[in-house]
Chains A and B, each alone.
Chain A
Amino acid sequence: MFSVATLRVSKKTGLRIVLGLALSYALGGMTSSAMASAQDGSVAVGVNISPATLDPTTNPSEGIRNVTYANIYEGLTAVDEQGAIHPLLAQAWSISPDGLHYTFFLHPGVHFHDGTPLTCATVKFSLDRARSPESLNPQKLVFENIQDVSCSSDMTVLVTLRTAHASFLSELAWADAVIVAPQSASGNAQHPIGTGPFIFKDWKRAESITLEKNQAYWGTPAKLNAVTFRFYTEPLAAANALLDGQLDAYPSFPAPEMAARFEQNSAFVVKQGLAPFKAMLALNNRRKLFAQPLVRQALMYALDRAGITEAMDIPGALVLGSHMSPENPNYTDLSDVYPYNPGKAKALLKQVGVEPGTRLKLVLPPIGYAHTTGELVAAYLEQIGLNVTIVQLEWPAWLAQVFGHHDFDMTIIAHTEPDDIGIYARKDYYFGYNNSSFQALYAAYEAEQDPVKRHTLSVQMQEKLAHDVPNVFLFFVPRTNIARREVKGLWNRLPLPATPMSNVFWGQ
């Protein structure tokens, strides 16, 4: 999954926002609408991507996850701000030594918003639905590895996997794996019903969604009475809504280069937060040219990635050296494996016999960072004698060409999935990396349950990718979290796309 609208940085937008903000005077204290929200215990949150439906088990949209995950829906396990896995609907579990048999003990007394009790049958229904042939689950691969789900009692679920997969517990915490009830599952796309601390109340499509506190919540109840998520497609409108008091918080502000304006305003607090973000120049490893590791390494030497990262003009941006970003506990800094050295890049190309003037097509999706970075990448590659043509595509065309038909040489995209290094073990994936030693490492990592050994294996996978460069890893940028000073309890670090609201409250 990639975020299309996570970051829209363009010179024009930036200018528009400067103009917009220059016109507004710094607001001291709370505006009347913010004060009203504080009094009735509600918070209005700005979100970039408006969901089209509200069922995360049939649609990968980040917008759905931002609204529903951990607020409306809950999974067997939960993830905390640091990425650690905790019990949720399953209050405990045990795993067989071979890693194939999981026994989950369900939390007693859990009810869905319509009163349906949570039992093993509900869990079995959810997992079977996700792995069935008709399943539209975005992470079907995870569920297809389930061989069988059975109930040894009303509250005990037995899950048998086909092959050991130690990431299973953390994958069960993803929004794709939330537990839904048989009676309400088919209606969830329009009227979501889960077990979470908030109840769906109202939806004005493309405009806002309102959730209300679940008074009968089985766990620690939410501190707020209501949350409204509002959707913004234009960064200027988002900035205005914050200044105007229509919004109390914007956890992934779409124009981070403008954050400084809010930092100077005492009514707001601006934070840089970590969330999965791996921007890269993806290479089509199926192409004869990029099937050669030396050519891929030459590209790494050819790009001044520190300069490209700086050009993003976002505080906290980092050069990446492998397919992992710093929110992940296993992250290792490998940005220095191939430092900028155009001379060496040229020498490598010569060694392999790549003719100067070789033509390459750089296909770009319609995302701000891809555009900015694409121009720079093309310029650097031309300096080592490659002839780069940039092709701008709109989103569906880009998806069809790059993902559907693998018809590209290079593209620029940021992967925003949590913990997704496994995509390099998928031979049929769009960049077509097929490396048996990486596949062996990944298999060992998933077969291993010991956290210390898993960490070592994860670092080895990162190192393998950093040296072999299936894709040219570019940069990480943090999220910009802007909130009114009095709004407390928002997650700043996000191991996965979500806006958990149950601990948010109005403070001083």
Chain B
Amino acid sequence: MQNFLWPLRFIGSRIVLLVLASLIIFFSMAFLPGDPAEVILGVDAQPDTLAALHHKLGLDQPLPVQYWHWATGFFQGDFGRSYGYNVPVWYLLAERLQVSLPLAGFALTAAVALGVALGVFTATRRGTWLDLVFMGGIQLTKAVPDFWLAMLLTGFFSLSLHWFPAGGFSGWGQGVGAALRSLVLPAVALALPQAAVLARYTRSAVIAVLEEPFILTARAHGLSERQVLFRHVLPRSLPSVLAVLSLQIPLLLSGTIIVENVFNLKGTGALLLEAVNQRDVPVVQACVLLIVAVVVFEKGLFQWLEIRLSPWLSSDRNGHAA
């Protein structure tokens, strides 16, 4: 019974969270000083021009009415209309997600592949000079700010070697190859610091498992180091690696704003920043809710995965994860 109700409870509580988030965003934007019409019309605007625009944007209505309009629209799939761009918000989001989603996906894949591989590699060679060299490199990468890394990468790989474009996104229309090529450097700039963090956690997790008595038992049974690693160590250390990863995904989402700027990529990060600066409330609402939704559901997914991958936990935790 509990198992059956769990997804419903999970989704229901997340929706309540989203509604609360939307209320907080809406009213905090409303109480921030600044008027979207003033931003659009600039400083030569006369009071009657401002009033005309207020009316056009629906800003002359009371705040609760404005929120109600937005919220009822939202639950019918209408995200509202951008004040500044004067187009439906979903249209802007769709345009920007074409850049942001592949970038985040690319960066995430690279961070996981590199981080986990390095973590396992160094853990199994603990104390050797290879471990020392890689750990030093990892510490260094962690300390490097991503915008500076982005600059180094463009200076070397674009302006000197001409392997990759220095910035911008060619768009999917120009071919998948060109589009991916323009995302390589930003994805690497995003992924490297995250991979470094992941590598450190993976290393400690793997080392912790390696020191457990059952590994000794496994070795005593005559399993090869390879078998020990893949059959016993990795499955056991995966949950704690996943826990770190679930914390990193929000960082990858927010980190894109700075990296997007250096590479002149116009993703959701840039859109959100611009919308806040223009008091474009419908766009801010949609962008923040998107991030909140991703974080909330991603956390849920990872919790679920963690439990599935940790059979030794499931007897007492299954059903209480929400």
Contacts and interface: CB of A to CB of B under 8 A. Distances in A.
A and B are partners in one complex rather than unrelated chains: yes
Interface of A: 1-2, 16, 19-20, 22-25, 27, 31, 52-53, 59-61, 133-141, 189-190, 204-207, 230, 232-234, 236-238, 240-241, 243-244, 246, 393-397, 399-401, 403-404, 417, 430
A237 B262 contact: yes
Contact of A237 (B38, B43, B95, B264): B264
Nearest to A4: B277
A403 B38 contact: yes
* Chain A to chain B: the 7 pairs with minimum beta-carbon distance, closest first: A23-B155, A396-B34, A24-B159, A244-B166, A240-B166, A237-B264, A60-B42
Nearest to A243: B159
Nearest to B40: A59
Interface string B38-65: 1111111110110011001000000000
Nearest to A20: B151
A57 to B, nearest CB: 12
B74 interface: no
B52 A24 contact: no
Interface stretch (B79-87, B131-139, B299-307): B79-87
Contact of A233 (B32, B43, B261): B261
Contacts of B43: 1-2, 399, 403, 430
A128 to B, nearest CB: 15
Given A52-B82, A244-B162, 15 more contacts: A20-B155, A23-B154, A23-B159, A52-B278, A60-B41, A133-B52, A140-B48, A140-B49, A236-B262, A240-B167, A246-B165, A396-B34, A396-B279, A397-B34, A417-B44
Interface in B145-170: 147-148, 151-152, 154-156, 158-160, 162, 165-169
Nearest to B267: A206
A396 B263 contact: no
A23 B152 contact: yes
B232 interface: no
Contacts of B154: 20, 23, 240
17 contacts: A1-B44, A20-B151, A22-B155, A25-B160, A53-B85, A53-B86, A59-B40, A61-B42, A136-B56, A138-B49, A206-B266, A234-B262, A236-B262, A244-B166, A396-B32, A396-B39, A404-B38
Given A52-B84, A133-B52, A396 B277 contact: yes
Contact of A136 (B49, B84, B162, B166): B49
A237 B155 CA distance: 11
Contacts, number: 157
A135 B168 contact: no
Contacts of B160: 23-25
Interface string B100-139: 0000000000000000000000000000000000000000
A430 B53 CA distance: 20
A246 B263 CA distance: 12
Given A1-B44, A190-B86, A246-B165, A241 B277 contact: no
A345 B294 CA distance: 60
Contacts of A399: 34-35, 38-39, 43
Nearest to A132: B52
Nearest to B98: A204
B311 interface: no
Contacts of B7: none
A401 B34 CA distance: 8
A397 B151 CA distance: 32
B38 A396 contact: yes
A350 B152 CA distance: 56
Contacts of A244: 158-159, 162, 165-167
B35 A233 contact: no
Nearest to A239: B166
Contacts of A404: 35, 38
Contact of B151 (A2, A23, A206, A400): A23
A19 B151 contact: yes
Interface of B: 32-36, 38-46, 48-49, 52-53, 56, 82, 84-87, 92, 95, 147-148, 151-152, 154-156, 158-160, 162, 165-169, 171, 261-264, 266, 270-271, 274, 277-279
Contacts of A1: 42-44
A60 B85 contact: no
A431 B53 CA distance: 24
Contacts of A61: 42
Contacts of A204: 95, 171, 266
A31 B151 CA distance: 20
The listed residue with most A CB atoms (<10 A of its CB), out of B35, B156, B264, B274, is B264
Contacts of A205: 85, 92, 95, 266
B41 A134 contact: no
B32 to A, nearest CB: 7
A189 B158 contact: no
A141 B262 contact: no
A415 to B, nearest CB: 9
A109 B49 CA distance: 35
Nearest to B264: A237
Contacts of B85: 52-53, 205
Contacts of A24: 155, 159-160
Contacts of B45: 60, 138
A189 B40 CA distance: 13
A241 B86 contact: no
Contacts of B42: 1-2, 60-61, 138
Contacts of A190: 86-87
B171 A135 contact: no
A19 B271 CA distance: 27
Contacts of A246: 165-168
The listed residue with most B CB atoms (<10 A of its CB), out of A31, A206, A397, is A206
B147 to A, nearest CB: 8
A141 B44 CA distance: 9
Contacts of A133: 48, 52
A206 B167 CA distance: 14
A176 B263 CA distance: 33
Nearest to B92: A205
Given A23-B156, A52-B84, A399-B43, A134 B168 contact: no
Nearest to A232: B264
A187 B141 CA distance: 50
B38 A60 contact: no
Contacts of B34: 394-397, 399-400
B13 to A, nearest CB: 34
Nearest to B48: A133
